[in-house]
Amino acid sequence: MEILYLVVALAVCITVHEAAHAWVAYKLGDPTAKMEGRVSLNPMKHLDVLGTIMIFIAHFGWGKPVPFNYNNLKHPRRDAALISIAGPITNLLTAFVIAIMFKYLPLPGLIFEILRAVYSLSLILFLFNLLPIAPLDGSKLLGLVIPLSKEDWYQRFLSQGPIYLILLIIADRLIAEVAGFSFFGTYLQFGYDLITTGIMIVT
């Protein structure tokens, strides 16, 4: 049953995340994602086969990146940041809505377990995607503070980021095996606990 919960959570979390990217891009004047059918809550439009498999193998994964064209944006850096942050914010809102359901609705066991999986994965995706490393969404937020004079460096950073991210994840796993400490694990756990406490206070 745990696999079922994870599969449903993965489909829900990645779908709302990527659909939010696509919808905001469209609203900001870029129809690229909409023309590819990405402004949709159909999971098949957003799930990536390899990214899904990696969830089960390496406990991290990804959906199909939502394409957008900088040339269609009136304010490229600002709008790129808004498009990027839309995904994580939607995951955070999803977790918040589920927390309200937990508090005020009598949920059957199966529904409760599925929603709990969606809640957990929503917060993990929110936190992980805020890291300022390409291709994570946080890398686009850097564009708000990087001077235009450093544009060439920034574009190289965005293009080479995936390699660095993979190397960092591998290094983190090795350090965890040897020293018993994981930067990513500690960051995600601390953020998860902090947000959950905040949600409990608000609701």
Instruction: Tell me the per-residue pLDDT of 165-180, one tens digit each, with 9 for 90 and over.
Output: 989 999 999 999 999 9
pLDDT single digits (tens) 134-167: 989 999 999 899 998 998 999 999 999 889 998 9
Q: What is the predicted pLDDT for the residue at 51?
A: 73
Instruction: Assess whether 18 carries a catalytic annotation.
Output: yes
Q: How far apart are CA 75 and CA 52, in angstroms?
A: 33
Residue 68 has pLDDT above 70, yes or no: yes
Least confident of 48-57, 96-105, 190-199: 48-57
Cβ-contact 8, 62 below 8 angstroms = no
Domain-wise residue ranges, the chain = 2-202
> Tokens 């969830």 appear where?
55
Confidence of residue 58 (pLDDT cuts 50, 70, 90): low
- DSSP category for residue 154: H
Confidence of residue 128 (pLDDT cuts 50, 70, 90): very high
Residue type present at position 176: A
Cβ-contact 174, 115 below 8 angstroms = no
Mean per-residue pLDDT, 11-26: 96
Encoded tokens for 18 = 């990527």
Candidates 18, 36, 113, 151; catalytic one: 18
Q: What is the predicted pLDDT for the residue at 50?
A: 75
Q: What is the predicted pLDDT for the residue at 15?
A: 96
Mean per-residue pLDDT, 91-101: 98
Q: Which DSSP helix (H) or strand (E) runs through 41? A: none
Q: How far apart are CA 82 and CA 59, in angstroms?
A: 27
Confidence of residue 2 (pLDDT cuts 50, 70, 90): confident
